[in-house]
Structure 1
Amino acid sequence: MKADAVGRTAEAGTAGRNLVQAADHNLRITLEAIRRGGPLARSDLARLTGLSEPGVGNILKQLLAGGLVAKAGRAGRAAGFGLAENAAFGLGIDLPGERAATAVVVDLRGRVRLRRRFDVEDRREVEELRDAVLACIGTERDRLAGCGVALGEGVSLSAMPCLEPLLAASPETFILRDTDAASLGELHFGMPEDGSFATVFIDRTVRAGFVIEGRLFRGVRGRAGRLGRMHVDGDGSPLDAVAGAGAMPGFPFAEAAPGILDAGWRAWLDRAALPLMDAVVAVAGFLGPAAVFVGGRLPEAVLAAIADRLNEERARRVGHPEQPFWLPWIAPATLAEDGAAMGAAAATFFSRLLPDPRR
């Protein structure tokens, strides 16, 4: 949420909550307003959250005592409150199902303090990563909000015993789908104004994550977003077979791989563009998102090229009288290939400190 959206959230009030839940809700929306727009004066926070100034004052006392916020000087104006330098940290791990995985440590301000690729089957490498994470956080271990783990389709954390030393360093572990993690990352670090968007996640299968009016939408038993099972082309092939990254030359890509946009890759894009656009039309027709992001475990240049091609097709379609004029803009995911890991880290903040879009 943007800072001005916090007030809209507050308008719903705390109906149906007991006093403890209401107090927790008020603390979370106040901290979110500071995160989005700080430093902010007490009067600004009261306006944005819909709370009284005395109520905001009591919340600020708690946040100051907890080391989450700090006073920020503002010349000639009332004292403002901003996030403390080391307010909180989140550990995010993206497990695609390959041996190579990605881990990030992100602070509450959204800064990446640590990023590392590692081998999930190499216990020594995992222990070195654990030590690096703890060194990054420093002496205040209680600043680690938790560890979020984004799982690729069909991946089970229980099948990766070498991760135990890393997970044990965190006070709590939160498990989520990679598509949900990528959507949470987009929501936390760069969502559109009205908070409604879809993330088309191109992996070995083509799936999607949805955020509707600032809330994560997962469907019944988490079944939403299985775009790859759509039948496309005249022969009825599933979208996974045509546009899944498994059919993409060079996948999975080595980081900073040279010449990734070669002739073979562009041939894949030529085949995949129209079926992917049909999937975007279906998503847009049902949900009406403000934007569609193209994400996945793909280099930034690859995601940008896919988004550019889809926007070319979008321009062609919206200019035709028999085609949908309401198609949303399509953009590469803000966090590129780190979207799932960053979103998993953000999930720890949602679980403990900020308004949780999963509720």
Structure 2
Amino acid sequence: MITPIRPSSPRKPEEPVRQESLRTINLELVFRHILAAANPISRTELAAATGLTRPTITRIVEELLAGRLITEAGLTHDGRAGRPRVGLTLSGKGPAGLGLDIRADGLAACVVDLTGTVRHLAFAPSTYADRDAGAVLFDLARMADAAIDTIGTEDLTVVTATLAVPGPVDGGLVRSAPSLGWRNVDAGALLHSAIQHLELPVAVDNEANLAALGELYASHNTLNSFVYVSGGLAIGAGIVLDGQLMRGTRGWSGELGHVTVHPDGTPCPCGSRGCLQTYASLEAILGGDPVPAGTTPDATATARADAGDPATLAALDTAGTALGIALSGMLNILDIDTVLLGGSFALLSSWLTANVRTQIDRRVHTAAWAPITVRPALLGPDAAVIGAALTSIDQIRQRPAAWLVDEPLDVVPKP
């Protein structure tokens, strides 16, 4: 089954609250309190926090325990008289998400459990020259097999395989990924066919959106609004506002690489001219030179910059300036105070950040009295594959009742 990318549909205001709806509302209320608690929370504390009766709390907790969404975590003191009470917290066993990523230096696979903990992370160097989509996705399918074999003894159930790709996605269809040479490639169907023996639903999403979700989780709620900029095969942006991923009407927002920075500039594979992609991608930074055997584009660019190669340093100056120009327009519109440099940009941030900041300070209207932070992303090049694995976990956290009754999940972050 190929899972479409769509938002969850809330209950319409005019619909009555039926008994089953009330059960779901109460279950999700209890689960949210367990999810939000900094420490294991007792049944008594849940009753006080939610206003639900003790029998209702007991029934819901038993459902969540049986569904492996929560676990008992020793004893907790809640400040009340009497004996310590049994604490409840998210379970590290039960549902898990599988993420797969195509990035500048190769392929990656990741498994994340409900707590957000990475349980498996693997990387395989790969190139995409003269390789069709089917061959690339077949390699990823083998990595999916290995990931599931690795966690097979850890009492985890993978819910969905989510693929991160550098381009706009329509369902499972990759509309355009010039850096891969893909146009209207049904990556969802190809991947589903390659892993059908695993009997997993498949979702496909833009890698910058998925990386932004990974960073949102990794920040532990310390970042509420930010722009995540992904550099590598392509350049994309994941935009988070007030804790929610901004996906756009069709889920195609964030194509920062095809923002024009020089109207009469270099032709871009997309058909336009002067796109940021042509000045700041890894290919542009490397000047189109082939990557030496046994290394990767990321490693090659970093090694040349470390060695003080004049051409590479000049290309990084150009890239940082172009990136700062493109970001300035976005920041003027969105009023966001944090930019995270991710993907290859995280590794090259030492050479990019100063020029990016110079352009932002010069071009963002509010920067003089409201400085904008520009820094490397926490997860570096792994953000997209971790975010891909987190999509199904994110949906279970939002709709635990659906997991308990085995309903299909949307397995994507809500817009």
Give the TM-score normalised by the residue count of structure 2.
0.69
Which residue, out of 108, 120, 141, partners 1:114? 120
**Structure-2 change in CA distance of 1:321 and 1:187 (3 Å):** closer
2:65 pairs with 1:64: yes
Tell me by how many angstroms 1:341 deviates: 0.7
**Residue of structure 1 equivalent to 2:229:** 200
Structure 1 residue identity aligned to 2:285: M
Q: Pairwise mapping of residues 136-151 of structure 1 onto structure 2 (< 5 A)?
A: 136-138=150-152, 143-151=157-165
**Structure-2 change in CA distance of 1:201 and 1:131 (3 Å):** closer
Residues 102-139 of structure 1: CA deviation (Å, up to 9, x unaligned):
11112222222222234672798656534422322325
**Residue of structure 2 equivalent to 1:81:** 88
**Residue of structure 2 equivalent to 1:94:** 101
- Contact 1:29/1:354 (CA < 8 Å) preserved in 2? no
- Contact 1:204/1:240 (CA < 8 Å) preserved in 2? no
**Residue of structure 1 equivalent to 2:282:** 245
Tell me by how many angstroms 1:290 deviates: 4.0
Structure having the higher helix fraction is 1
**Structure-2 change in CA distance of 1:226 and 1:124 (3 Å):** closer
Tell me by how many angstroms 1:261 deviates: 2.7
Count of residues paired in the alignment: 343
Secondary structure, aligned partner of 2:75: coil
Residues 123-158 of structure 1: CA deviation (Å, up to 9, x unaligned):
986565344223223258772121111122225354
**Residue of structure 2 equivalent to 1:270:** 317
Structure 1 residue identity aligned to 2:88: F
Tell me by how many angstroms 1:83 deviates: 2.2
**Structure-2 change in CA distance of 1:191 and 1:207 (3 Å):** farther
Residues 22-76 of structure 1: CA deviation (Å, up to 9, x unaligned):
654654564455445342234555677x563645544322111112211112354
**Residue of structure 1 equivalent to 2:270:** none
- Contact 1:201/1:208 (CA < 8 Å) preserved in 2? yes
Secondary structure, aligned partner of 1:90: strand
2:303 pairs with 1:259: yes
- Contact 1:91/1:344 (CA < 8 Å) preserved in 2? yes
- Contact 1:121/1:162 (CA < 8 Å) preserved in 2? no
Tell me by how many angstroms 1:331 deviates: 1.9
CA distance in structure 2 between the partners assigned to 1:311 and 1:261 by the alignment: 19
> Identity, % of aligned pairs?
24
CA distance in structure 2 between the partners assigned to 1:123 and 1:212 by the alignment: 32
Q: Structure 1, unaligned stretches of length 5 or more?
A: 1-11
- Contact 1:99/1:121 (CA < 8 Å) preserved in 2? no
**Structure-2 change in CA distance of 1:31 and 1:171 (3 Å):** farther
Tell me by how many angstroms 1:175 deviates: 1.6
**Residue of structure 2 equivalent to 1:5:** none
2:81 pairs with 1:52: no
**Residue of structure 1 equivalent to 2:147:** 133
Question: Bigger radius of gyration, 1 or 2?
Answer: 2
Secondary structure, aligned partner of 1:221: coil
CA distance in structure 1 between the partners assigned to 2:365 and 2:106 by the alignment: 47
Q: Pairwise mapping of residues 241-320 of structure 1 onto structure 2 (< 5 A)?
A: 241-249=278-286, 253=296, 259-262=303-306, 263=309, 264-296=311-343, 298=344, 300-303=346-349, 305-307=351-353, 310-311=356-357, 317=362
**Structure-2 change in CA distance of 1:220 and 1:24 (3 Å):** same
Structure 1 residue identity aligned to 2:230: F
CA distance in structure 1 between the partners assigned to 2:53 and 2:91 by the alignment: 21
CA distance in structure 2 between the partners assigned to 1:128 and 1:62 by the alignment: 35
Q: Structure 2, unaligned stretches of length 5 or more?
A: 1-9, 78-83, 127-133, 168-175, 177-181, 266-273, 400-411
Which residue, out of 243, 261, 270, partners 1:214? 243
Structure 2 residue identity aligned to 1:342: I
Secondary structure, aligned partner of 1:73: strand
Tell me by how many angstroms 1:303 deviates: 3.9
- Contact 1:196/1:211 (CA < 8 Å) preserved in 2? yes
Q: Pairwise mapping of residues 172-191 of structure 1 onto structure 2 (< 5 A)?
A: 172-190=201-219
CA distance in structure 2 between the partners assigned to 1:305 and 1:30 by the alignment: 47
Decide which moves more: 213-222 or 19-28: 19-28
